[in-house]
Amino acid sequence: MSNETKTYRAALIGCGGRGMSLRNTANQADRIEVVAAADAFQVNFDKLTSEGVSVYQNFEEMLEKESPELAIVATPISTHYEVARRVLDFPITGLYLEKSMATRLSEADELVQRAEEQNVYFVVGHQLRYSRGWADAKNLLDDGAIGQVHYVRAHRGSALLTHHTHQTDLMRYYLDDSPVSWVLGQIHRTDSFLSERIESEMQSLGFVQFENGVSGIIESGQYRPPAGNHLMLIGEKGEIRVGSDSRFRSEGTGGKWEPLPQYEQPHIFEDLLRWIEGGPEHRNAGGKGRDTLEVLLAIYESSRSRGRVELPLKRRGNALEEMVADGTLP
């Protein structure tokens, strides 16, 4: 039931640049106040303390003493699973976990299950579902501007699990989170390659078949010259391009390119409160983040098996990690 007068106390875990940005975003919500923060290396503690935020080196001590309703986790990706798993031992109401939620599918499944068992409203930080331009494209699709979508292509000049997760998640969002039937993929690396401190691919390519009949291409990695971060959607009546030069053309525009119209977008944290208080499921609900991760891990698995892989994945780990460990990949 909605309680529009309740203020939610939030605690931040991980106070680096991303954490501080999330703290500011959360504080923009009318009924959320970030009252405490934890960071093992005391990052930004002087600034936080000067602004009245209680700081801790140990996040479990913070959760025990502060008893917040909301926890925001913005630690390095390699720690997301372990930190979130421990956070879910505390009586919180909502958990915001930065993307990617984990590096192995078994970990993602466990977090989703634990959140359900603890009645925690769990979201994953694919914030582009709420961002101008990227989110506006979904409204334009829903308005029928290009008719039925047939094909989607997503490119980002970085590794799959650290940044392309945004573009892959948007592909799924634009298609109403349609399940994926199968993935055919390949990855490339010539030496150890770290992205945000996790072993990653230098380049990758994935062909994705959605159950609703739409096919898609995922491209990640460095190109010369850089190709930028973008998505392209081809429909029966036109096409939409989203990125640095967002535009669309359709029968309605006479085939001429026009800027994307702007739509009113909800606030990502205010949508979390609406969900908690009986409203619709959050755009970034944990299960959706889990399904996006599965698509990315399927590219790794397809590269290992040298063939198409059906979803749901039977293997619950991370094929890239496993190929590095056994020497199949450098």
Are 251 and 274 part of one and the same domain? no
Residue 2's pLDDT is 53
Instruction: Clarify whether residues 93 and 208 are in a common domain.
Output: no
In a domain, 2, yes or no: no
Residues 52-64: tens digit of each pLDDT:
999 999 999 999 9
On whether both 249 and 277 belong to a single domain, the answer is no
3 domain-assigned = no
Query: Does residue 20 fall inside a structural domain?
Result: yes
> Is the same domain home to 67 and 213?
no
pLDDT tens per residue, range 139-190? 999 999 999 999 999 999 899 999 999 999 999 999 999 999 999 999 999 9
| Residues 277, 251 share a domain | no
Give tens-digit pLDDT for 276-326. 999 999 999 999 999 999 999 999 999 999 999 999 999 999 999 999 999
Q: What integer pLDDT is reported at residue 224 of this predicted model?
A: 76
Q: Are residues 225 and 304 in the same domain?
A: yes
Strands (DSSP E) contained in the chain are 8-13, 32-38, 54-56, 70-73, 94-98, 121-125, 149-156, 180-188, 194-195, 198-199, 203-210, 215-221, 230-235, 238-242, 247-250, 258-259, 309-310
For residues 250 and 220, membership in a common domain is answered with yes
Q: What is the pLDDT of residues 186-216, one digit of tens each?
A: 999 999 999 999 999 999 999 999 999 999 9
**Within this chain, do residues 148 and 92 fall inside the same structural domain, yes or no?**
no
Task: Provide the pLDDT for residue 5.
Answer: 79
pTM > 0.85: yes
* Alpha-carbon distances, residue 180 vs 177, 190, 212 (angstroms): 9, 30, 8
Q: What is the spatial distance between Cα 320 and Cα 297, in angstroms, rounded to a whole number? A: 8
Boundaries of domain holding 62: 8-126+269-281
Give me the mean pLDDT over the 29-37 stretch: 97
pLDDT in tens, 226-262: 778 999 999 999 999 999 889 999 999 999 999 999 9
Q: CATH number of the domain that 191 lies in?
A: 3.30.360.10
Looking at residue 177, what is its pLDDT?
98
Number of structural domains (the chain) is 2
Cβ atoms 74, 22 nearer than 8 A: yes
